């Protein structure tokens, strides 16, 4: 690939241990390895993030909640079952680091046109609690930090995870400068859904054709309602995939690649830089999850290298 190289944020400690949990956290490390194998990034070209600071987290999360996470992590408070996932110091540190990674990726996307964090997309985290395997809302932390620094005004979330990004809506409720667009499976967690800027809830079993048609139609509406954002935050969940265990939208690998291409074509039309985030993915074979995430990052790298014009459609 000639042209500018895609900044790729990653840290090995994104992959922590949740024994027996459906969330395959080793997908982060394996996606990084896959991108090196494909030549998208050099092994020594991966950028190591710094953790989000307490001040950065506090722009999104309530102090009481952050204190509770720390207390649980340090064994001073009992675990809260609403968190759904084991909470330890390692886990809290991993989420904090991932928020820093998304923040740095978003900042680099503003500077260079695109970047990816091989983590993040924790769109079910609320200001005052965590749920849906998400403890800290990395992307909200990133947007708020960049706004506080005066580097960003209007942000567009394109959330194509199979689950609606309820936490994102909660973080930016009534905020006219952040548009939350989601295409998800209607009959799936979360219940109830939050009311975002534009929600497209699809039937289970929709498949490639219906999925891509719905995405195309919705992107036209996004363009009309929130044109030319300063940053497109792409929450590129891998769980619309046909073999996912927690989603039933039945989109093929090829359909997932076409989805990414449509988002990038839209970003070109809107002149928007893109930060890519991984979000969910629970396929029977973790290889598929890794492949879908790597396809997204590679598409983003090609898009950037080609001068932010979508290369020949896959
Ligand atoms: Zn999901």
How far, in Å, is the centroid of ligand 1 from the Cα of 295? 17
The Å distance, Cα 131 to ligand 1 centre, comes to 12
Closest CA to 179 of 121, 243, 235, 232: 232
Q: How far is the CA of 280 from the centre of ligand 1 (A)?
A: 4
Q: If you measure from the C-alpha of residue 239 to the centroid of ligand 1, how many angstroms do you get, rounded to a whole number?
A: 6
Asked whether the predicted pLDDT for residue 188 surpasses 80, the reply is yes
Say if residue 313's pLDDT is above 80: no
Centroid of ligand 1 to alpha carbon of 248 (angstroms) = 11
Taking residues 126-144, report their average pLDDT: 97
Q: Residue 197: which of 179, 220, 175 has the closest Cα?
A: 179
Q: Let me know: does 183 contact 266? Beta carbons within 8 Å.
A: no
What mean pLDDT is predicted for residues 92-109? 98
pLDDT above 90 as % of the chain: 90
What pLDDT score was predicted for residue 147?
98
Average pLDDT, the chain: 96
For 115-136, letters b (16+ CB in 10 Å) and e give bbbbbbbbbbbbbebbbbbbbb
Q: Is the pLDDT of residue 314 over 60?
A: no
Average pLDDT over residues 138-154: 98
Q: Is the pTM of this model over 0.95?
A: yes
Q: What is the pLDDT of residues 69-80, one digit of tens each?
A: 999 999 999 988
Confirm whether 61 is a catalytic residue: no
Mean pLDDT throughout 195-222?
A: 98
Q: Which residues of 260-283 are buried (b: 16+ CB within 10 A; e: fewer)?
A: bbbbbbbbbebebbbbbbbbbbbb
All structural domains of the chain with their residue ranges: 8-305
Between residues 23 and 48, the one the model is more confident about: 48
**Which residue among the candidates 61, 123, 124, 137 is catalytic per the annotation?**
124
| 8-305 fold | 3.40.800
Counting residues of the chain whose pLDDT is more than 70, the rounded percentage is 99
């Amino acid at each position: 690939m000639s042209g500018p190289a895609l900044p790729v944020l990653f840290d090995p400690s994104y992959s922590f241990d949740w024994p027996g949990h459906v969330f395959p956290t080793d997908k982060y490390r394996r996606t990084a390895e896959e991108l090196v194998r494909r030549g998208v990034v050099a092994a020594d070209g991966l950028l190591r993030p710094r953790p989000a600071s307490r001040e950065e987290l506090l722009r999104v999360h309530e102090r009481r909640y952050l204190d509770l996470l720390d207390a649980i992590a340090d064994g001073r408070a009992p675990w809260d079952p609403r968190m759904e996932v084991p909470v330890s110091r390692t886990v809290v540190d991993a989420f904090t680091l991932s928020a820093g990674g998304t923040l740095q990726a978003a900042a680099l996307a503003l500077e260079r046109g695109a970047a990816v964090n091989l983590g993040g997309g924790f769109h079910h985290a609320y200001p005052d609690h965590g749920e849906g395997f998400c403890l800290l809302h990395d992307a909200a932390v990133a947007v708020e930090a960049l706004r506080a620094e005066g580097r960003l005004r209007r942000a567009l979330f394109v959330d194509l995870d199979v689950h609606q990004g309820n936490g994102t809506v909660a973080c930016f409720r009534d905020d006219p400068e952040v548009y939350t667009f989601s295409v998800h499976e209607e009959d799936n967690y979360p219940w109830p859904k939050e009311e975002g800027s534009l929600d497209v809830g699809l039937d289970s079993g929709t498949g490639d054709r219906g999925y891509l048609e719905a995405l195309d139609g919705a992107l036209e509406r996004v363009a009309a309602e929130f044109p030319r954002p300063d940053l497109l935050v792409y929450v590129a969940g891998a769980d619309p995939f046909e073999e996912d265990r927690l989603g039933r939208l039945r989109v093929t690998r090829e359909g997932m690649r076409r989805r990414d291409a449509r988002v990038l074509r839209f970003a070109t039309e809107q002149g928007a830089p893109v930060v890519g985030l991984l979000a969910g993915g629970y396929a029977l074979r973790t290889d598929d999850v890794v492949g879908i995430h790597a396809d997204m990052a590679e598409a983003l790298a090609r898009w950037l290298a080609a001068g932010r014009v979508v290369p020949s459609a896959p």
